[in-house]
Structure 1
């Protein structure tokens, strides 16, 4: 196939996919043309947490990099109309973290190691955010080759990380290690609800919209402790109600904090899981707690970080504008800064209140 014919074919495919994005009641209608407010916040994030090559540095975790952070940076680059940074982040990720046998990425890259990638397992949320970012980038910058990459990731994710348990479509946290005899373990914070319509457009034959619907149902059912919160890790078994998974502390903490973020981003901030998080965060008259353990209903002896506070404000103030949320430079480390900037992005994109 000649180059011009191939490009025309890709453009036709691009137009077809981008026109077929499913519409969901209560879902954010992503306005990709406007550039997100607060470019100084993005500049601060890049200056503090990103190398010139496009590696996002987890300053709170021995300066590692994760597919999660790379995917988030790609999303943020599309929101700020920063094509050059998008390309740097994506190219670095492909060169250093891409698995050799599919289009997914290894979940962790460690500096100062002979083999920076020691574990080739993926992290589903990182790949999901990358595919979503590629979809958005293809639309914003009219680059159909990025849509092909997004479609390939969607297909590999679906093949390796989507399963059915007791009639429920579930999203595995990774390609291996979470399927057991009679049950699976899921991480509710890996359900990136605002991304599912794009995934369904990329792969209409897949179960992406079922994952959206069944994920919401799972969150309504899998609520624990005094405040009825989602757990960081959940066991989903045949014929049983979901319960906190064995092998992890039974907590609402640094993983599950992303559940209300993604719900609010998708226009679903009234869902019980998001409102329960808000009740928990407001439960202490002294300092907003970082986590709670379900068995004792005890709370962390230290307060929530900057990123959690940004999410609490996002959920608790549905009319809040992005610029009213906390600032990146006030965050103590990468994770808090990323959650802060993603909360601003969610505030910018979620549906307006009636």
Structure 2
């Protein structure tokens, strides 16, 4: 359901690539300490005063639970508790109908925005499990880093609700995350999304909520990613049918704007995690393709490895941690050059939500603003390098 949105955003970003690269040489990457300019720009451009993250590129001026979850994460990395609380309160009020407390919790609706009659409200009440995972993670880490048990308790309650309502079991594989509670199991086919399963997030949930399915889910997720990437490329979507992973019947074997996050999450995992190296190895096709062509393809076939188009600048943001984790200095250098262009202000070019999100994840990581330890816990620079 989010793939079409991501595609639309990415196409718009691709068109601007050639022009913005011209400014790359004049932009400097920030260090791990000091003001995080990219984050401040994101808050100023995309976050309303009440804590709503707005995707202005959409006709409905929509807000997604994804946007809220990523905003919470960036606020935590920036040690910006005031913005964190605004984002959380808006999510509670508008996406969860004020039912977002440990004793009374519902999964947040994934899409909110302008309705056909001009009013604003929930556009799709289904939840998105990746966003729910990230929100649970954000809350658990906020509780630990800011020493506030109320965040921890809410994160634990949300994790329990995800385990109850957004999980299934695949025989011979183990527990698996559904993209949402409704609409992904039909006629013996279970549709799945590889980009919904960041290893550090799963590890942290296993650490903080040890009685849940999270450790086993990490193992299942690795099997899923490895099996559905036979050429080293992750698909946007895949499926489970007749006891095996198969090509998604709706979207085929294409890997593009959703799948680019699979490489991002793999690159951010702690090298000490026993699944980190094999997970990266399963995704080697993208590295090889960039080495061959000098740029990441916009779209790939996960089954035969064929590629087309040139990915937008934001792809480089997603791939920067991946190149860093692989020790690929050439790939990381290319990524840094392109990321300077992504961060630069170009007259007449409005920043795009999805670009900026990937940009913050990628640059924040390679610049040392945050990392994850072997248990998936967030290690922000304000707790270490900037003391």
Provide the TM-score with structure 2 as the length reference: 0.74
Distance in 1, matches of 2:261 and 2:300, equals 15
Of 284, 287, 291, which aligns to 2:293?
284
Call closer, same or farther: CA 1:213–1:265 in 2, change over 3 Å. same
1:188 aligns with 2:186: no
Q: CA deviation at 1:297?
A: 5.5
Distance in 1, matches of 2:242 and 2:344, equals 46
Q: Is the 8 A contact 1:38 1:323 kept in 2?
A: no
Of 264, 284, 295, which aligns to 1:261?
264
The correspondence of residues 99-110 of structure 1 with structure 2, limited to 5 A, is 102-110=105-113
Structure 1 residue matching 2:240: 3-state secondary structure: strand
Which position in structure 2 is the counterpart of 1:116?
A: 121
Distance in 2, matches of 1:234 and 1:130, equals 24
Which position in structure 1 is the counterpart of 2:69?
A: 71
Q: Is the 8 A contact 2:46 2:353 kept in 1?
A: yes
Distance in 2, matches of 1:259 and 1:213, equals 15
Call closer, same or farther: CA 1:36–1:219 in 2, change over 3 Å. farther
The correspondence of residues 1-354 of structure 1 with structure 2, limited to 5 A, is 39-62=36-59, 63-98=61-96, 102-111=105-114, 113-167=118-172, 168-224=174-230, 227-240=231-244, 242-267=245-270, 268=276, 271-285=280-294, 287-294=295-302, 299-301=307-309, 303-318=310-325, 326=340, 328-329=343-344, 332-347=351-366, 348=368, 349-350=370-371
Provide the TM-score with structure 1 as the length reference: 0.80
Which position in structure 1 is the counterpart of 2:9?
A: none
Call closer, same or farther: CA 1:334–1:115 in 2, change over 3 Å. closer
Q: Is the 8 A contact 2:175 2:220 kept in 1?
A: yes
Q: Structure 1: which 5+ residue stretches go unaligned?
A: 1-34
Distance in 2, matches of 1:195 and 1:244, equals 26
Q: CA deviation at 1:185?
A: 1.0
Q: CA deviation at 1:238?
A: 3.5
Name the stretch that deviates more: 162-171 or 80-89. 162-171
CA displacement 1:102-127 (0-9 Å, x = unmatched): 43111111135435212210000111
Q: Is the 8 A contact 1:60 1:334 kept in 2?
A: yes
Q: Is the 8 A contact 2:234 2:283 kept in 1?
A: no
Q: Is the 8 A contact 2:170 2:243 kept in 1?
A: no
Q: Is the 8 A contact 1:200 1:209 kept in 2?
A: yes
Structure 2 residue matching 1:170: 3-state secondary structure: strand
Distance in 2, matches of 1:40 and 1:236, equals 43
Tell me the number of residue pairs that the alignment of Structure 1 and Structure 2 aligns. Answer: 314
Which position in structure 2 is the counterpart of 1:32?
A: none
Q: Is the 8 A contact 2:205 2:214 kept in 1?
A: yes
Higher relative contact order (CA 8 A, sep 6+): 2
Distance in 2, matches of 1:282 and 1:64, equals 37
Call closer, same or farther: CA 1:278–1:202 in 2, change over 3 Å. same
- Extract structure 1 runs of 4+ deviating beyond 6 A: 319-324
What root-mean-square deviation, in Å, do the aligned CA atoms of Structure 1 and Structure 2 show? 2.8
Structure 2 residue matching 1:317: 3-state secondary structure: helix
Q: Is the 8 A contact 1:257 1:308 kept in 2?
A: yes
